[in-house]
Structure formats: structure tokens, C-alpha cells
Amino acid sequence: MELDRIEKLLEKYFDASATVAEEKIIRDYFLNEDIPAHLQRYAPMFKYFSNAKEERFTKRLPLRPGNRSYWKGISVAAVVVLVFGIYFGRSYQERKKAEYAYQETKKALSLLALNLERGTEKVAYLREFEETKQKIYNNN
């Protein structure tokens, strides 16, 4: 490539008035071709730019499956389970309590029945006494 043209393009490059295509010509020239001594000094610039483009980002990306609808679904389900749990848990407790009360009442009633029976036994004695008394009266 004619030196003249390169020098002109280089001037345009530093004035930032070159087109994208012209800049590409300059870049390729300084990266590939044999460069005359007086232009050698510019070569590191273009070499540096092309080297700088080789940097790579290598760090790991901790992308969590931050799917929000998924979490929302889970939390709704958890709340439902919790509410039902409390509701049924409470009614179960109530049934237990009622059963306990029923047992207690039954115990109390049977105790009462027992004592009542004991009472009637005594009444039986009393009746016998009455009958005997009647007999004595009749005999007299």
C-alpha cells in the first residue's frame, strides 16, 4: 500500500475524521504489514488495542433460579397447608375435649348410680322392718 495514503489516513485517524472503513484499513495495516521505520512508533497503539480485546471475563456467574412465580406458588401452598392445619387441628382438639368431658360425666353418673343402689338396699331393710312390725301388730 502506498505510504502516502497511509500517512494521510493516519492523520485523519488522529483527527477522528476517518470513516469506520478507513480506520479498519489503518488498523489492518499496522497489525499485519511490514511497517517502515518512521511509522513503527504507531504500531504499539494498534497492537495494544487488539490485545486489549482479548481480555476475558472468567468469573463464575451465580445465577440462582430466581423464578419468582415458582416461589410464589410454594408460599401460597404453604399458607394453605398452615391454615387447614390450624383449622383441623383445632377441631380435633375440641373433639378430644368433648370425649374427655363425656367420660368424666359417665364416671360421675355411675358413681351416683352406685350410691343410689346402696340407698335402695337400706330401704329394703327398712321394708323388712316394716313388714315385721305389721306382723307384730296383727298378732296383737
Partner 1 sequence: MQQTEFLNVVLPFKDKLFRMAMRLLVSREEAEDATQEIILKLWEKKKAMVGYNNVEAYAMMMTKNFCLDRLKSKQAGNLKLVHSNYSDDSVSLQRQVEVRDSLGWIEKIMQELPEQQKIILQLRDVEQYEYDEISKLLEMSPTAVRVALSRARKTVREKLMEKENYGIG
Residues that bind partner 1 (CB under 8 A): 13-17, 20, 41-42, 44-45, 47-49, 51-53, 55-57, 59, 61-63, 65-66
Q: How far is the CB of 85 from partner 1 (least distance, A)?
A: 34
CB closer to partner 1 out of 62 and 119: 62
CB closer to partner 1 out of 64 and 118: 64
CB closer to partner 1 out of 71 and 92: 71
CB closer to partner 1 out of 59 and 118: 59
Listing DSSP states for the chain in one string gives --HHHHHHHHHHHHHT-S-HHHHHHHHHHHHHS---GGGGGGHHHHHHHHHHTT-------------HHHHHHHHHHHHHHHHHHHHHHHHHHHHHHHHHHHHHHHHHHHHHHHHHHHHHHHHHHHHHHHHHHHHHHHH-
Q: How far is the CB of 3 from partner 1 (least distance, A)?
A: 18
Q: How far is the CB of 6 from partner 1 (least distance, A)?
A: 15
